[in-house]
Structure 1
Amino acid sequence: MRLRYITIVTLILCWTTAAYAQQYDLVIVGGTPGGIMTAIAAAREGKTSVILERTAHIGGLPANGLGATDIATRGATTGLFAEFIGHVRQHYVTRYGETSQQVKDCSDGFHFEPSVAEKVLEQMLAEQSAKITVLKMRQFDVENENIVLKNDRIEQITVLNRERRNTEAYRGRIFVDATYEGDLGAAARVPFRLGREGKDEFNEPGAGVVYKYWHGAEGAGSTFQGDNAVQSYNYRLCLTNNPANRVALQKPAVYNRAEYTSLIEDVWTGRHTGAQMEKVTAAMLEENRKHIAQGNPSKIPGDVWGIARISNMVTLPNAKTDANNQHMAFISTDLPEENWPWPTSGWAWRDAFAQRLRSYIEGLLWFAQNDKELPEHFRKAARAWGFAKDEYTDNGNFPRQVYVREGRRFEGLYFFTAQDATARIPGQRPVIHGASITASHYALDSHAVRKREPGRVHLDGFLSYPSQVYTVPYGVMVPKDIDNLLLPVPVSGSHIGFSTLRMEPCWMALGQAAGVAASLAIDRQVKVRHVPVEELQRSLVARQATLIYYQDVKPTDADFVMVQTLGLQGYLPEWKARLADIADAETVALWEKASGKTLTFTPGRTTRREVLQQLYTHP
């Protein structure tokens, strides 16, 4: 009798929670750019969304210091990302004038201040306010009690309201994990990977344990074996040398000088981790020490001076910088090894590490500016820089969010590796995915996984290898089993494959595709893995999203849709469509064979555009 009573009470409680759960078409966990673009794209399809953001600010890393956009080929990724950078540029034009230094420094919208990124993203959301609800200070924890799964569908999730300290329930038709960590996907029990695959698994460059000079060859100690190591995190600092807007750096309350002392010898000798060191002798290092002692900066090739020794800085508008980890240094703002537990830890651990990382970075900056064992003129050069007074005014002018470069990587319908981003034949494209939902381009790029080790030329795992503009298939964000979950940020891929996908332009494009895909799944009443990809692609291309990149066809061109469609079908495998060129008989014959159509063609007169128009069938 008691068991029956408990069962009835449990059913009543579950019914009550469900009854009071807020309902939306899409429930999006994470106010990152990927999550924001998901909501905007869905809103344009008439769907309602709620964005559940853990912090008091939306925008993810672009709103937290990543102001130098990571994209190797401008124009490879467009759609909502292009709208974002267009709004950024317009902000500077409106406020400062077309010919201003700020407009020049914004680099056509690709470089921006953190506060401007947040403002632009807030404005883009506000344009869809009738369909999008943004709720901040909402925390999702990976616990069984916070997710209701039934028949391979997520029915409801529960989050903590961090201000009121109460829980709130949300029900949706489609759920989206837009977190850097992949917390929602983990709660839904989607299989995921952590750490590094070995080279023996996918034959990827840089896989496993690798030591190499920056831009140099792989060296001693490289075993290429897989392990559980996670690439390091840092904060992307917003620094300035403008005295009117500069906040002096303070010594943190928790300061351990011993962590930074290896920098002293690096500065005095000029030793660094770049490939130039292959030609630097011990005698040159000692000669450099004497040169520095005479009041000069380092003369070792590739060495840098002052604050740049520990921070790689890119100019942003208004005399600010995006200050990232220094790739050429043994010690910088990254903190390897200590972040390994982050992807699967709870928020209590993450918050403690975030404070540890902040103290570490503040201590490093203080050390560079003040430690008396460093050259005086080095310290003076470093002291020219400080935090920007008008950024992060509610957080001591320090970024609010850790740069989580890599969290969980889910195993979806398609598993992306380095082979998808590199051409098998030099000069040609990587594999063209017919199910592409965006083109993108960045190097295969990973930061260190271990701290400095004696005798090594660089930190383990700190690497970069070239890639080419590639296509990204829909399956990277689709789980194999959960029917109503999309993963546009913690996508499916190897450590090396993910290392190029993990850039905000690509995440914005994947978010846009997720919003459209979710809408189609709702409208067609199908599982997300059964969304008609061709229909998804037509919608994306109609919104000027680039699914396959051509150097000579832009989204605003009249033939853009035709070229995108035929390109993904394999008719245009080269980097240029050459629409105005005269068609040659060999190419026309290949197109006829591929299509099964007889094409009208006059040698020496008919253009490639005219032939392609015969192949292209409007939807």
Structure 2
Amino acid sequence: MKSQNDARPSGIKLYITLFFALMIAPLGCFAAVDDYDVVIVGGTPSGIAASIAAARNGHSAILLERTTHIGGLMANGLGATDIGTRGATLGIFGDYIKRVREYYKTTYGPGAPQVEDCSDGYHFEPSIAAKILAEMLAEHPTITVRVMRQFDALPENVTLENGRVTAIRILNRETGATEQIRGKVFIDATYEGDLAAAAGAPYRVGREGRSEYNEPMAGRIYRAWRAEKLAPGSSGLGDNAVQAYNYRLPLTRVAENRVPIEKPSNYNRDEYVSLIEDFRLNREAAVTPPHPDRARTLVRVVNVTMMPNGKIDGNNHHCSFISTDLPEENWPWPTSDWAWRDTFAKRLRDYTLGFLWFCQNDAELPADFRAECSAWGLARDEFTDNGNFPRQVYVREGRRVMGEYLFTSHDATPVAPGARPPLHLDSVTASHYWLDSHAVRKREPGRPHLDGFFSEESAPYTVPYRIIVPKNVDGLLVPVAASATHIGLSTLRMEPCWMALGEAAGAAAAQSIAGGKPLRKIDTLKLQHELLRRGVVLIYYRDFAPGNAGYEAAQLLGLRGAISGWNVNPGELIDAKTAASWRKTLGLKASSPGKKKITRGSISPPCGMRQAARRDKMERRHSCRRSRPTGLAPEL
């Protein structure tokens, strides 16, 4: 039997077809809607860790990366891990550095110079970082990786249902098609906080004033490097200034791997000539003049850290008035579209190559300095599809998405000399780096340094889950553009911490899905149990690392102030009263009289944690029997 529609004249059918085609066309060409448990935007190390944490808890995850390569800055030249205390941040990051160390040992032999230069896994070549991160993803078949997928920070690219993110639209940069991805939980792992902004989460850009949170380094400041006091002009007033970006440069002077620096077509010598006068006056932005050992070398203007195979991680030099940073011009980046960002990225690349060419060739610079600089070039075996130059700009700070807690400098500094910073009961990682910001303005006459450049001591601190839970939006976590002041983010912004926050986000997403609870209402103690059994550090102790018996209990006791100071002293005996108090704090039954002596490191973890550990052991045994994929999903 023919339907009423089948009886219509063909002309009417054609008209209806064209009508609906024209109506749909402005919305873009949508592929079939994809559905995943967890959707991660940004193939940064944080995004990778989030994907792995979600997948190992049995959930499907999709990782969306705008470029052709995953890995963020760790795969783009940042090969000298920025961490103040090794061991303060572990978990998936700890697994990564172990793999780096083992790679160099296996490839070159235990006593090889590459093993020494990898610094126990904390220093690595960009190509090796990309390789290892890809391998870590490939071990989880429920992770799908798609590259060349661009998310544009526009409200129309986010579907909200009762304030909760349920779908996003992304651009396939290869086909030009718009793809729609649905998910149960979304994670914004971009350096800029693009997804959170598009979803309507509040955010900050720029610097808070000193009076707003009583942060000593906040607002406009000038201080010579290593000087104790701020210089005149340090008003402390807030503004919209963003700390400078640059490229982290893997340079080499190994002749067979060295690619000479070429002069950019739009080279502008005027941008660099102030360096000539600095040489004549032996002048730097520091308390003391340059040391003779580096006064006439590349190290005078580029900060150098050794990596394996004769490469360096070349960074902006903190004592030079002019180096690889390009302050001021990057201010629009956090909130600009990708067309503007791509234009700036090219401008920064040309500026950087121009600076290196100037140092190697300008006749007014000292001849010995030029000769030493000329020995360096780009690494032939890195970024082979991008002219041996890093593919991504080092975005030190983008948006700061406001969350359930605002992390300030006070959260990273001791409450008293020798003491810890404030403890956060909902800590999802410990971390440690100096309070550290690069300049926000170019050189100004008469100033001892560039505005905004500082490095202040901190101590290993705890990072609360609440900083990755954005206000006003549900179904979303933000582990990179986290909730912090400019000064607070200046220590959080290191890849180990961002990676740990990504791991926490992935684990929290899995817990939210499994329990049917909103992300802001999950049981953070349960989340901590999951993280601890994966080797995460929630509070740093100098003498008690993951793997020790009683580790989980000591971590939870430490967060509650029961174990004070920087050491657990696990072998010391505790009296019955203390043991009873600790067991009560952990929710354990009181121990029966007559049992063996109890030490500080032998309190048992809660029963639920022991059960989780047993489940994890069974999972590992089962996984050893399964075949593992040898590569990433085909879409990578």
TM-score past 0.5 threshold: yes
Structure 1 segment 103-502 matched on structure 2, within 5 A: 103-128=115-140, 130-217=141-228, 218-277=230-289, 304-502=295-493
Superposed displacement of residue 593, structure 1: 9.6
User: For 2:31 and 2:379, how far apart are their aligned partners in 1?
Assistant: 47
Paired with 2:558 and 2:411, the residues of 1 have a C-alpha distance of 17
Flag the 1:18–1:367 CA change in 2: closer, same or farther, 3 A: closer
Structure 1 residue 579 and structure 2 residue 591: aligned? no
What is the rounded CA distance, in whole Å, between the counterparts of 1:144 and 1:565 in structure 2?
Answer: 41
Structure 1 contact 211–461 (Cα < 8 Å) conserved: yes
Q: Distance in 2 between matches of 1:237 and 1:145?
A: 37
Distance 1:19 1:99, change over 3 A: closer
The structural deviation recorded for 1:608 is: 3.0
The Cα offsets for residues 273-328 of structure 1, whole Å up to 9 and x where unpaired, read as 12225xxxxxxxxxxxxxxxxxxxx766x963322222101000000000000011
Check whether the contact 1:177–1:184 (CA below 8 A) recurs between aligned residues: yes
Q: Distance in 2 between matches of 1:120 and 1:331?
A: 34
Tell me how far 1:479 sits from its aligned partner: 1.3
**Could you tell me how far apart the structure 2 residues matched to 1:498 and 1:543 are?**
26
- For 1:299 and 1:539, the matched residues in 2 are separated by 49
Q: Summarize the Cα distance change of 1:224–1:35 in structure 2 as closer, same or farther, 3 Å threshold.
A: same
Residues 601 and 325 (structure 1), Cα distance of their counterparts in 2 relative to 1, 3 Å cut: farther
Secondary structure of the residue aligned to 1:275 is coil
Identity of aligned residues (%): 55
- Within the candidate set 512, 533, 557, 2:548 is matched to 557
Partner of 2:534: 543
Q: Report the residue type matching 1:607 in the other structure.
A: T
Partner residue, 2:615: none
Deviations 1:316-364 (A, max 9, x none): 0000000000011000000000000000000000000000000000000
Displacement of 1:566: 1.5
- Decide whether aligned partners of structure 1 residues 585 and 339 sit closer, same or farther in structure 2, where only a CA change above 3 A counts: same
Q: 1:45 to 1:594 in 2, by over 3 A?
A: closer
CA RMSD of aligned residues (A): 2.5
**CA distance in 2: counterparts of 1:399 and 1:523, whole angstroms:** 40
Q: Which residue of 2 is the match for residue 295 of structure 1?
A: none
Corresponding letter in the other structure for 1:94? T
The runs of 5 or more residues in structure 1 that have no matched partner are: 1-6, 278-297
**CA drift at 1:124:** 0.4
TM-superposed deviation, 1:216: 1.4
Residue 337 of structure 1 aligns to a residue in which SS? coil
Give 1:204 deviation, angstroms.
1.1
Shift of the 588–168 alpha-carbon distance from structure 1 to 2, 3 Å rule, reads closer
Distance in 1, Cα, partners of 2:607 & 2:243: 46
State how far apart, in whole Å, the 1-side matches of 2:441 and 2:417 are.
Answer: 33
- Aligned equivalents of 2:430 and 2:539: distance in 1? 5
Q: Aligned partner of 2:600: which letter?
A: R
The answer for the alignment partner of 2:12 in structure 1 is none
Amino acid at match of 1:490: A
Q: Give the superposition deviation at 1:559.
A: 1.6
Q: Structure 1's 601 and 103: CA in aligned 2 closer, same or farther, altered over 3 A?
A: farther
Distance 1:352 1:155, change over 3 A: same
Change (3 A) 1:541 1:379: same
Q: Deviations over 1:409-431 (max 9, x none)?
A: 01100110011101110101111
Query: What secondary structure sits across from 1:156 in the alignment?
Result: strand
Give the direction of change, closer, same or farther, for the CA distance of 1:572–1:334 in structure 2 (3 Å limit): same
Structure 2 residue aligned with 1:607, among 576, 599, 603?
599
Displacement of 1:618 after TM fit? Answer: 5.4
Whole-Å separation in 2 of the counterparts to 1:483 and 1:237: 39
The 8 Å contact of residues 26 and 172 in structure 1, kept in 2 or not, is answered as: yes
Aligned CA distance change for structure 1 residues 19 and 67 (closer, same or farther; 3 Å): closer
Aligned length: 590
Mapped contact 2:200–2:472 kept (Cα < 8 A): no
* 1:180-237 deviation line (CA, Å, top 9, x unaligned): 0000000001000010011101111211111111121221211111111000000000
Match of 1:31, SS state, is coil
* CA separation of 1:154 and 1:583: change in aligned 2, threshold 3 A: same
TM normalised by structure 2 equals: 0.88
Task: Find the counterpart in structure 1 of residue 7 from structure 2.
Answer: none
Match of 1:4 in 2: none
Change (3 A) 1:18 1:215: same
1:513 aligned onto 2:504: yes
Q: What secondary structure is seen at the aligned counterpart in 2 of 1:41? A: helix
CA contact (8 A) 2:250 2:313 kept: yes
The change in CA–CA distance for 1:547 and 1:243 in structure 2 (over 3 A counts) is same
Contact 2:31/2:179, CA 8 A, preserved across alignment: no
Aligned-pair CA distance for 1:265: 1.1
Taking the aligned partners of 2:584 and 2:545, their CA distance within structure 1 comes to: 28
Q: 1:29 to 1:591 in 2, by over 3 A?
A: closer
What letter is aligned with 1:226? G
Partner SS state of residue 276, structure 1 = coil
For 1:213 and 1:103, how far apart are their aligned partners in 2? Answer: 36
Q: 1:174 to 1:587 in 2, by over 3 A?
A: same
